[in-house]
């Protein structure tokens, strides 16, 4: 039991010129004479959906059963050897569930149709095949992030946050045979006919989280003067902290430090002039040229947004289908899409695995940050569910079965980690996974997309 002398609202906001600073959960926000586990100290479960196109290198991501080449097939195996691609998550295994054998039927071309299927991003979070059209009559499905946002996000300042790590407008004419670019530019749909834009620029995302509407001139002037959003509320912060207990003052000091550090990195990013990289990828002005810094900025923004309860739902598009981007930080200089078509060449597959592993290293950065952020009676990771996945099993042949998915976090006590859930090939559609995730948020849909039930062994 934790008893406080004073109780303030969880929705406490400090306002200044062009900003609205939401605060992290403080002990002073917990009602006195109550058990933490039964109060507002237990926030709603957050959700993050992260999509990477073109699967992962075959033979390098399925956990093994002792010897090489012996994949585990029992449901719920524990303490297995981590495969090379997922090795960066091994220190975090108690929070991680690896699934194998899932079937992304919704990402397969419709019966009788042939041609490219580079619209699989649209199916990731709704398990629906999008309507084949290049016109305005697009139709897909409401994605689970938006269903969750309707259920748990309405009490937050921003119902959901959509982020991208590659310009959704880049190569916009090259989106797959006969399919609208809307299907590859976003993974988040508020309705079957309404795709949501993904924000590429971390500065714009920052302003959405901390800016006060109607103060564009103030925000622009502040950026030009390299001033922190906190400068306009320095006196308010000092006065506010005087009435806090030492532990709350310490939490707020750390929160301020995190914001100022994020602003310092954003100031560096905004000096980027925009360019076309050597691999032909357009990097707009103000966006970090380094993928490594870009993804870390986006992940840090999400962590702060979750910590202050600004939003409880986010999605991240790591890359668009057909991307030619390379990731030199991985030590591999091949373009993503080109190397994913490995032609069964072992050396090419090994390089692709190294690139996949780099993406997982980026994910591990986010998980560590979430794990190290206190939140009520646990951490942000304890009170979150992160879905990381793709819709291809064999990218070389564009096969959509045996697709890799990860479930990470505690989902407020509903998900246990250190498990590998292995399913027989072509038996369990990804819609079952999505339906099971919705159950964790108290949303019990009979079906979603191509679901035939729930995911066996998940909870």
Cα 415 to the chain's mean position, in Å?
A: 18
On whether residue 457 sits in a domain, the answer given is no
In a domain, 209, yes or no: no
Q: Identify the CA nearest to 369 among candidates 18, 92, 61.
A: 92
In the predicted model, residues of the chain with pLDDT beneath 50 are 1-5, 35-39, 66-68, 70, 72, 214-215
- Read off the pLDDT of residues 6-21 as tens digits, 9 standing for 90 and up: 567 878 888 887 788 9
| pLDDT in the model for residue 217 | 59
Q: Of 70, 102, 64, give the one whose Cα is nearest residue 85.
A: 64
Evaluate whether residue 142 is within a structural domain: yes
193 and 100 co-located in one domain: yes
Residue 161: HSE in the Cβ half-sphere, 13 Å Cα cutoff = 33
Question: How many whole angstroms separate alpha carbon 298 and alpha carbon 369?
Answer: 12
Eight-state DSSP code of residue 398: T
Tokens linked to 122: 């649209």
Q: Are residues 61 and 191 in the same domain?
A: yes
Residues 371 and 407 in one domain: yes
Q: Quick one: pLDDT at residue 1?
A: 33
- For residues 156 and 284, what is the distance between their CA atoms, to the nearest angstrom? 30
Could you identify the residue written with the tokens 């030199």?
328
In a domain, 274, yes or no: no
- For position 299, which CATH number holds? 3.40.720
| 250 belongs to a structural domain | yes
Do both 413 and 292 map to the same domain? yes
Domain match, 54 and 119 both: yes
pTM attached to this predicted model: 0.93
Predicted local distance difference test score (pLDDT) of residue 74: 63
In 3D space, the residue among 225, 252, 214 whose CA is nearest the CA of residue 14 turns out to be 252
Are residues 230 and 341 both part of a single domain?
Answer: no
The confidence score (pLDDT) of residue 176 equals 66
The per-residue pLDDT for 389 is 97
Q: Read off the tokens for 242.
A: 């005087």
Alpha helix (H) ranges present in 308-388? 336-340, 346-371
The two three-digit tokens of residue 218, written as one number: 């103030």
For 15, the 3-state DSSP assignment is strand
Q: What secondary structure letter does DSSP report for 138?
A: -
State which residues form the domain around 292. Answer: 44-200+287-440
Q: Within a domain: residue 20? A: yes
Are 243 and 329 members of one domain?
Answer: no
Residue 246 burial by Cβ neighbours in a 10 Å radius (0-12, 13-18, 19+) = exposed
pLDDT score, position 225: 58
Q: How would DSSP label each residue in 419-450?
A: EEEE--TTSSBHHHHHHHHHHHTT---S--TT
pLDDT at 90: 97
> Tokens in use for 24?
């992290």
- One domain for residues 256 and 195: no
Co-location of 150 and 239 in the same domain = no
Please tell me the chain's helix, strand, coil percentages from 3-state DSSP, rounded to the nearest 5: 35, 15, 50
Question: Same structural domain for residues 170 and 293?
Answer: yes
Number of domains in the chain: 2
Does residue 251 sit within a domain?
yes
In terms of domains, do 22 and 166 share one?
A: no
For 38, other C-beta atoms within 10 Å of its C-beta total 9
Nearest Cα neighbor of 96 from 104, 105, 85, 106 is 85
Model pLDDT for residues 89-147, shown as the tens digit of each residue: 999 999 999 999 999 999 998 876 665 677 889 999 999 999 989 899 999 999 999 99
DSSP-assigned letters across all residues of 63-101: PBSSSTT-B--SEEE-SPBPPGGGGGGGGGGGGEEEEEE
Is 207 among the domain residues?
A: no
48 and 114 together in one domain: yes
């Amino acid at each position: 039991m934790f008893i406080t002398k004073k109780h303030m609202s969880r929705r406490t906001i400090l306002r200044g010129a062009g900003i609205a600073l939401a605060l992290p959960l403080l002990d002073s926000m917990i009602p006195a004479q109550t058990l933490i586990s039964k109060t507002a100290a237990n926030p709603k479960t957050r959700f993050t959906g992260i999509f990477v196109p073109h699967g992962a290198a075959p033979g390098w991501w399925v956990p093994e059963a002792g010897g090489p080449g012996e994949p585990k097939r029992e449901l719920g195996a524990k303490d297995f050897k981590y495969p090379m691609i997922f090795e960066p998550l091994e220190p975090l295994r108690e929070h991680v569930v690896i699934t194998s054998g899932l079937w992304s039927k919704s990402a397969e071309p419709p019966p009788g149709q042939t041609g490219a299927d580079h619209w699989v991003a649209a199916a990731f979070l709704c398990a629906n095949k999008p309507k084949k059209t290049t016109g305005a009559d697009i139709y897909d499905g409401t994605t689970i992030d938006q269903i969750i946002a309707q259920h748990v996000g309405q009490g937050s300042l921003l119902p959901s946050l959509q982020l991208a790590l590659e310009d959704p407008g880049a190569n916009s004419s090259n989106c797959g045979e006969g399919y609208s670019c809307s299907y590859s530019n976003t993974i988040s749909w508020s309705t079957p006919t309404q795709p949501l834009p993904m924000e590429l620029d971390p500065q714009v995302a920052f302003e959405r989280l901390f800016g006060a509407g109607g103060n564009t001139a103030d925000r622009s002037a502040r950026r030009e003067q390299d001033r922190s959003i906190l400068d306009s509320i320095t006196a308010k912060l000092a006065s506010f902290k005087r009435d806090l207990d030492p532990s709350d003052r310490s939490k707020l000091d750390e929160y301020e430090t995190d914001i100022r550090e994020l602003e310092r990195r954003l100031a560096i990013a905004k000096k980027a002039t925009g360019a076309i990289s050597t691999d032909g990828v357009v990097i707009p002005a103000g966006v970090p040229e380094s993928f490594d810094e870009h993804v870390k900025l986006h992940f840090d923004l999400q962590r702060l947004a979750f910590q202050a309860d600004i939003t409880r739902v986010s999605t991240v598009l790591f890359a668009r289908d057909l991307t030619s981007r390379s990731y030199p930080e991985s030590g591999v200089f091949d373009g993503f899409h080109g190397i994913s078509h490995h032609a069964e060449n072992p050396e090419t597959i090994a390089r692709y695995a190294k690139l996949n592993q780099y993406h997982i290293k980026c994910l591990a950065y986010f998980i560590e940050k979430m794990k190290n952020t206190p939140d009520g009676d646990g951490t942000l990771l304890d009170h979150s569910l992160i879905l990381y996945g793709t819709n291809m099993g064999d990218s070389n042949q564009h096969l959509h079965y045996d697709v890799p998915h990860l479930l990470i976090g505690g989902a407020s006590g509903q998900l246990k980690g250190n498990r590998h859930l292995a399913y027989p090939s072509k038996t369990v559609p990804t819609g079952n996974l999505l339906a099971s995730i919705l159950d964790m948020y108290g949303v019990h849909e009979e079906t979603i997309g191509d679901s035939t039930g729930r995911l066996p062994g998940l909870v």
